[in-house]
Structure 1
Amino acid sequence: MLGRFASGITVVAALDEHGGPVGLACQSFASLSLDPPLVLLCVGKSSSSWPRVERARRFGVSILADDQADTCAALGRRGSDKFAGIDWERTPNGAVRINNALATVDCELYAVHEAGDHYVITARVLDLDARPDGSPLLYFRSDYATGVFT
């Protein structure tokens, strides 16, 4: 039933202790609060990437565009070099941004709560950026979908 609820797909990414990118694909992301500005995301406890992002404390959330399914697939797999061939950059806040994403949010870790087999993470918004056009990459019925918006 929940597969019928379309959700956007994001990449949550940071710089590791060696200055390289580390991250994961995440479809559980939402705005939480305006004062203070907070967002939330949910990550499975089995994620091998989340502990590395958590240690960095600052990370970027890139909202993927409909032509970035390959980026989502790369960041959704297990392995050490998920960013091979991914166009990314470091932000002034020390986060990682996926280039050509619909929007990016620079974040600083605020709190982590255990919830079943996931963590519910809240993060303070440090900066926002969005491109003026494009449509989102969605996840719907266990597959990628696109939404055309003008």
Structure 2
Amino acid sequence: MAIEGRELRNALGRFATGVCVITTTTEERAPIGMTVNSFAAVSLDPPLVLWSLQNNSEVYREYAAARYFNVNVLSSDQADHSNEYARKGEHLLRPEHFRQGRYGAPVIRDALVTFECELDATHAGGDHLIIVGRVKDMTHRPTGKPLLFYSGAYCELH
């Protein structure tokens, strides 16, 4: 049975996910971010997480080559960050949105959690590159609700 791409995308959208902005720096040290919902835990020992980068992303080279990157889990009041860094050509971080992380990659201010990662491995995964990071440090807010995405729209926990 052949699965049509749009139908698969719609079906996958029925799985609620958190929303993250993955941050790193370019070769010229410019801070960049991109919105993703393809984040998952891999292992507690060693501490590993993963996310997926589309092969035709306009910032593919920067993320595929990054030694350090951060996974910033957005709070429900950060939908504007999600929207901004999801747009093509809008990956340069605004100075007021971040601070410098311990390993050089930007940390989104007021994110629920930030996982500061060092590249551990990459794996080809169809039309994406699966990027595995070793968590080197993390920070988190003691309060706040997550920004959730479900069936093509933001939603909230009840």
Aligned to 1:9: 19
Offset of residue 54 of structure 1: 2.8
Mapped pair 1:133 → 2:150: no
Are 1:23 and 1:53, in contact at CA under 8 Å, matched by a contact in 2?
Answer: no
Matched pairs, number: 148
> Percent identity, aligned pairs only?
39
Partners of 1:20 and 1:32 in 2: CA distance: 29
Q: Which runs of 4+ in 1 moved over 6 A?
A: none
Partners of 1:80 and 1:10 in 2: CA distance: 15
Partners of 1:56 and 1:144 in 2: CA distance: 29
Q: 1:64 to 1:81 in 2, by over 3 A?
A: closer
Q: 2:114 aligns with which of 82, 104, 119?
A: 104
The alignment partner of 2:13 has SS state of: helix
Q: What runs of 5+ residues in structure 1 fail to find an aligned partner? A: none
The one-letter amino acid of 2:137's match is D
Offset of residue 9 of structure 1: 0.5
Q: Which structure has the greater CA radius of gyration?
A: 2
RMSD over aligned CA atoms reads 1.5
Are 1:61 and 1:105, in contact at CA under 8 Å, matched by a contact in 2?
Answer: yes
Q: 1:81 to 1:32 in 2, by over 3 A?
A: closer
Please state which structure has a larger fraction of its residues in helix.
Answer: 2
Aligned to 1:23: 33
Q: How does 1:109-128 map to 2 (within 5 A)?
A: 109-128=119-138
Aligned to 1:72: 82
The alignment partner of 2:114 has SS state of: strand
Are 2:98 and 2:107, in contact at CA under 8 Å, matched by a contact in 1?
Answer: yes
Please state which structure has a larger fraction of its residues in strand.
Answer: 1
TM-score (norm: length of structure 2): 0.87
Are 1:31 and 1:39, in contact at CA under 8 Å, matched by a contact in 2?
Answer: yes
Partners of 2:14 and 2:148 in 1: CA distance: 11
Q: 1:33 aligns with which of 31, 38, 43?
A: 43
